[in-house]
Homo-oligomer: A and B are copies of this chain.
Amino acid sequence: MLTYVFEKNDVPLYEQVYQRIKGDIISGNLKPGEKLPSKRTFAHNHGISTITIQNAYDQLASEGYIYTLPRKGYYVADVGELKSVTRQGNISLDIKMPERPPRYKVDLSSNRINPDNFPFSVWAQLSRKILSEKSREFMEVSPTGGIYELREAIAEHLKSFRGMLVDPNQIIIGAGTEYLYGLLVQLLGADKEYCIENPGYKKLVNIYGQYQIKCRYASMDDKGITVEELRSCGADIAHICPNHHFPTGITMPASRRYEVLAWANEQKGRYIIEDDYDSEFRTNGRPIPTLFSIDACEKVIYMNTFSKSLTPTIRISYMILPVHLANQFYSRLSFYSCTVSNLEQYTLAAFIRKGYFEKHINRMRLYYSRQRRRLLNALEESKLMRICRIQENGSGLHFLIRLDTSLSPQQIEKRLQKESIRLQALSDFYLSPGQEGDCAFIISYSDIGLCIYHQLFGYQCTMRRRSI
C-alpha cells in the first residue's frame, strides 16, 4: 500500500506523485511486476482527484517505469537499466583554466555591447513563433551553407544597405568568423601564404597557426595596406579591413582599393579576404562600396558577423564566396553540416525580413554616434587635450588618442590599471617588434555608462600630477 505525504508548494501535485513513485521504483522499494493501487484507490486514500493520479501514471508509463495490463491495472516495469549508477560527490580536478581578465571600474578596451539595446522581446517572440510553426524543419540537418531563407534575407539586406548584388547561394553561414576562417583555409589551402595587416587582429595569427600557417605581416601607411608590402612578403591571400581598419580606424580610399585588386589579379590563386565587421556603424558620409562590389574578377571573399551588430551571443557570421570558389566549396566541403542551429537561423531570417534588423542598426548607429560625441566633447573640454590628439573618422565603435609624453604606452597602461582604468595601447596590436614607442590608445565606447565620465575625467588631475 503506497502512502505518501505531499507538500504544499509550487510543484504540481501530479508531478509530486510521479516523482515519489519513480523514486521508489528506482530505489527498489517497488519491485518489478508489483501491482500499483488503482487510480481510484490511490486517489481516495490520499484525498486527491483521480485525474491527478491518471496524469502521474500516464507520465510514468510513457517513460517506461510502469506498464498497463488491459482490465488488470498498472504494474512496475523492470527498470534495472534505468537505475542510477551514481557514485557520491562531484569531482573537481586539477585543471588550470585560462585566466579571466580582471574587472576595471572604467574599461575602454572592450567593445562589449550594451544589453539594454538588444530587442530581446522581439527576438523571443519571433523565436516562439518559429518554434510553433517550423517543427518539421527543426528535425532536418541544416544544409551546409545555412538555410536558404536566412541567406536570402542577408542578400536582400546587403543589396539595400551596402549596394551589393549577391546570389544567396554565394553566402555561407557559420558559427562565428573564427570558424569560417578555418573553412577558408580548408578551401584555399594551407600551403598558401596568408598575409595580415600590421597592426592588426592578433587572433588571426593564432587561428592560421593552427593550420601550420605562419602569417606574413604587411605594414600600413595612412591609406591602409600597401601593394609593395603585399608583394615583398610574397602573399597569396591578403586579409584586410578596408572599410574601418581595426585598430587604426583607417578607411582605405578608392585608389588604394583598385591597386589592391590589381595586385590580386596579377596572379592566379591570389585572393583578398575583406573583413567588414563593423561597417553598419559608419555614421559620417556615404557608405563606401565594398571591395567585393567593385571586384569584377572573383578575387574577393567578403566576411561579416552578426555578433557585432546584434549580440555576441548570436554566433552567426557569414562569408560570401566568388562563384568559382562557391562551386569548389559545394563540391569539396558540402559534407559539413552548418554549425548554426536552424532555430536561430530562422529567427534571424525573420528578424531581418520584418525590418527589425534595420531598425536595430539605425537605433544603434545613433546610440553609438551619441556615445562617441559625448566622449569626444568631454575629452575636448578636458585638460587632457593639452597632451592628447584625437584620431577618428566617424565610424565604428572606437577611435584613437595619441599622447605627447615621454612615458611608454606600457608605463601608462600600468599606472592607469592601478586606478582600475583599462586602456589598450595601439602598440599591443603590432605583430612584429619596432613600434613600441607609438603612444596611442584605443578608445572603445560601445558600452560606457555615464558614471564613467566622472571617474575618467575626475582622474585627469591624477594623470597630470603623475607627469603623463
Q: Mark A146-171, 1 if CB is under 8 A from B, else 0.
A: 00000000011001111101110110
Whether the pair B339, A176 counts as a contact (CB closer than 8 A) is yes
* Closest chain B residue to A327, Cβ basis: B96
Q: Residue A81 contacts which of B155, B165, B287, B323 (CB distance < 8 angstroms)?
A: B287
Which residues, 128 to 142 on A, are CB-close (under 8 Å) to B? 128, 131-132, 135-142
Q: How far is the CA of A339 from the CA of B337 in the complex (A)?
A: 14
Which residues, 276 to 295 on A, are CB-close (under 8 Å) to B? 282-287, 289
Per assembly, the copies of the chain total 2
Whether the pair B313, A283 counts as a contact (CB closer than 8 A) is no
Knowing A92-B167, A93-B167, A131-B124 touch, does A64 contact B362 (C-beta < 8 A)? yes
* Chain B residues whose CB sits within 8 angstroms of the CB of A203 once the complex forms: 335
Whether the pair A93, B342 counts as a contact (CB closer than 8 A) is no
* Chain B residues whose CB sits within 8 angstroms of the CB of A182 once the complex forms: 182
Residue A123 lies at the interface, judged by CB distance under 8 Å to chain B: yes
* Chain B residues whose CB sits within 8 angstroms of the CB of A143 once the complex forms: 98
Q: Mark A65-99, 1 if CB is under 8 A from B, else 0.
A: 10000000000000011111111001111111110
* Chain B residues whose CB sits within 8 angstroms of the CB of A163 once the complex forms: 84-87
* Chain B residues whose CB sits within 8 angstroms of the CB of A210 once the complex forms: 186, 333
Which among A43-51, A108-116, A397-405 touches the partner chain? A108-116
Residue A326 lies at the interface, judged by CB distance under 8 Å to chain B: yes
> How many positions in chain A have a CB within 8 Å of any CB in the partner chain?
108
Q: How far is the CA of A307 from the CA of B341 in the complex (A)?
A: 10
Whether the pair B138, A323 counts as a contact (CB closer than 8 A) is no
Q: Residue A311 contacts which of B64, B80, B138 (CB distance < 8 angstroms)?
A: B138
Q: Most B CB atoms within 10 A — which of A80, A156, A312?
A: A312
Knowing A190-B212, A323-B95 touch, does A312 contact B64 (C-beta < 8 A)? no
* Chain B residues whose CB sits within 8 angstroms of the CB of A316 once the complex forms: 341
* Chain B residues whose CB sits within 8 angstroms of the CB of A9 once the complex forms: none
Q: Most B CB atoms within 10 A — which of A116, A170, A283, A315?
A: A315
Q: How far is the CA of A83 from the CA of B326 in the complex (A)?
A: 30
Whether the pair B362, A63 counts as a contact (CB closer than 8 A) is yes
Whether the pair B144, A115 counts as a contact (CB closer than 8 A) is no
Q: Mark A420-436, 1 if CB is under 8 A from B, else 0.
A: 00000000000000000
* Chain B residues whose CB sits within 8 angstroms of the CB of A340 once the complex forms: 175, 315
* Chain B residues whose CB sits within 8 angstroms of the CB of A178 once the complex forms: 336-337, 339
A-B contact pairs, 15 of them (CB 8 A): A82-B362, A84-B160, A87-B159, A92-B167, A95-B169, A97-B169, A115-B135, A115-B139, A118-B139, A121-B131, A137-B313, A140-B312, A178-B336, A314-B343, A315-B339
- Interface of A toward B, CB cutoff 8 Å: 59, 62-65, 80-87, 90-98, 112-116, 118, 120-121, 123-124, 127-128, 131-132, 135-144, 155-156, 159-163, 165-167, 169-170, 175-176, 178-179, 182, 186, 190, 203, 206-207, 210-212, 282-287, 289, 307, 311-316, 323, 326-327, 330-331, 333-344, 359, 362-363, 365-366, 447
